[in-house]
Structure 1
Amino acid sequence: MAEFTAGQRIVGLKSGYLVGERLGEGGFGLAFVATADDGRRVVLKQLRLARMGDWKAMELFEREARVLAALAHPNIPRCHEFFATDGARAVDPGELSGLTGDASLVLVQDHVDGASLAAWVAASTRTTAAQAEALLRKLLGVLDYLHGLHPPVVHRDIKPGNIVVTAAGEPMLIDFGAIQDRARRDSEVGSTSVGTFGFFPIEQVLGKARPASDLYALAMTMVVVLSHRQPDELPLDPSTSKVDVREACPGLPERLTRALDGMLEPAVGQRLASARDVLAVLDGEVLQPQAADIPVPKARSLPAIVSRVPLYTGGAAALLLYGFFFDAFSESELVSLSFLWLIPLAFGLGARLNDSIGGGLRWAVGATLLLGAFLLLVFPAL
């Protein structure tokens, strides 16, 4: 079917919807304000299948839409239904093949009444540190919920325009652009970035978005709201190329500065890893880097003298025999005298390495057997 138009009535699986003004467009996705049959204001997101390059894009849209349909959090708009329609009738997206003509997928969500943080900045509305921290805590709760799902849901496009604050002061995270952006990435030539430039970290540019990527975007959003400066206008630390939070937002409480600073680390491995970690910093906790496991030397229980006496005695005997009295003995006598130094040397070495007398005895017996085999099997043939 064609793009929705104002005044058009769309019939879904649960309700009918009277289409109002268009909210926006992204790739092949359109968003409209609409009124449901019961009077609720909702948002209709339309994905026209005719504008897709292949069915993979539709598969991605459907998969992500079903994830959104399962979300339940007070700071995320509710998803009411998800259906496919050709304009004449609506079916479950799984029955899409039963439709004829130009079909569309439609996602229906609550419409959030309020002003976006982008509108606050455009209107020069100043945000206090206390207000910013309250908003940040609420939004961290949203991310903790999303990232705790299995698999985690990564928003990928957190920015001032996608956070709407209601009249009651509740921030709502809207426009889960991962639906359209992931599909668009597979269906449009030259469309490689996911998110809004300036608000996403380097790993997201490389197509490796993860929960910590949302933390970076949220911190950048809060710094923009506090400073009224866009990402490319923010001061950078020349030694790290990281946004200098203290210079951009002077006068913030130290714990809020540390939290934002930790969220804005360019390297994902150095960034605060989870929403709970950020909340811990806001609560005044000092997170310590995880120390590498360093093996601790095991305390020895065997007295050192037990291994050292035979070890040093055997070594000294070997040195005297071969260093000073070598010419005083025949070759056969030298081999026979090996028992005098090899056995104590082996015992001392085994006891030291195994930290036990039993270990020393095993090494001594082994040395005796090897030397005996040498005398019986090898030496006569030399």
Structure 2
Amino acid sequence: MIQEQMTLPLGATLQDDHGGHYCVEQLLGRGESSAVYLVSERRNKHWMFALKEVINPRTQDRKRLLFEYELLKRLTHPALPRVYYAFEQAELKRVYLLMEYIKGKDLDVLRNEQPGKRFPLQSALTLLEPIVDALMYLHQQEPPVLHRDIKPANIIVPPHGRSAALVDFRMAKEYQAESTTTVFRRGTPGYAAIEQFGNESDTDVRTDVYGLGAT
């Protein structure tokens, strides 16, 4: 786990390569070597963003974050987050991805708030409709884009107005039928398809369909 002193303190300010200054307002989440912050633009406190951070990134970590940035930058869909900049703070040994902040609870939290910890069928279908549409959009790209970590915790449901959004593209890849790579990352047990625990080249659009069905 990230030690408390390794995360940025509230009020810390970071500057990107385009002259933007961002103030840390809240720690939204953290992992073994990463964190996500709610930040505001210093010139306008009403401009809120999500800032993803990778601490002491290895070469592969840096490539993965830059791939996520380049991937999301060219995708446009109402159920996908927008990204703005990727930048590095060499003195802090951290890399960052500045992206749209989607306010709301994830589907896993909402499910646990339901009677019997499950949604009525019609509610589930309504919530997942924009996610299905987003997956169809991803799979229709050339080459198809695979998310590979579809699960309730990666679906954010805003409190009103905007429909659900699919987040966290750390495990995404562009599907190449002729690929023979053996480098892979396993998905989440209970939601990952069986092929994700073998050779990465075995994953295709059906991997996401399995995750959606498990969700």
TM-score, with structure 2 as normaliser: 0.79
Alignment correspondent of 1:304: none
What CA RMSD, in Å, does the superposition of the two structures yield over aligned residues? 2.3
Alignment correspondent of 1:355: none
Alignment correspondent of 1:22: 27
Alignment correspondent of 1:168: 161
- Answer 1 or 2: which has greater strand percent: 2
Shift, 1:64, TM fit = 2.7
- Report if aligned partners of 1:157, 1:200 keep a CA contact under 8 Å in 2: yes
- Structure 1 segment 1-382 matched on structure 2, within 5 A: 3-12=7-16, 13=18, 15-37=20-42, 38=44, 39-48=46-55, 50-52=56-58, 55-86=59-90, 101-125=91-115, 126-166=118-158, 167-168=160-161, 170-178=163-171, 193-206=185-198, 207=200, 208-221=202-215
Determine which structure has more spread, i.e. the larger CA radius of gyration: 1
Output the amino acid matched with 1:114.
Answer: G
Shift, 1:3, TM fit = 4.1
Q: Quote the Cα distance in structure 1 between the aligned partners of 2:139 and 2:114.
A: 32
Task: Report which structure shows greater RCO (CA 8 Å, sep ≥6).
Answer: 2
- Report if aligned partners of 1:201, 1:216 keep a CA contact under 8 Å in 2: yes
Shift, 1:150, TM fit = 2.4
* Identical aligned residues as a percent: 27
SS in 2 for 1:5: coil
Output the amino acid matched with 2:111.
Answer: V
Structure 1 residues 56 and 129: CA distance shift in structure 2, 3 A:
closer
- Give a deviation string over 1:82-110, Cα, whole Å, max 9, x none: 12223xxxxxxxxxxxxxx4432210111
- Answer 1 or 2: which has greater helix percent: 1
Q: Quote the Cα distance in structure 1 between the aligned partners of 2:152 and 2:21.
A: 32
TM-score, with structure 1 as normaliser: 0.46
Aligned residues: 192
Q: Quote the Cα distance in structure 2 between the aligned partners of 1:80 and 1:165.
A: 21
Output the amino acid matched with 2:39.
Answer: A
SS in 2 for 1:105: strand
Q: Quote the Cα distance in structure 2 between the aligned partners of 1:177 and 1:51.
A: 14
Structure 2 unaligned regions, length at least 5: 1-5, 173-183
SS in 1 for 2:61: helix
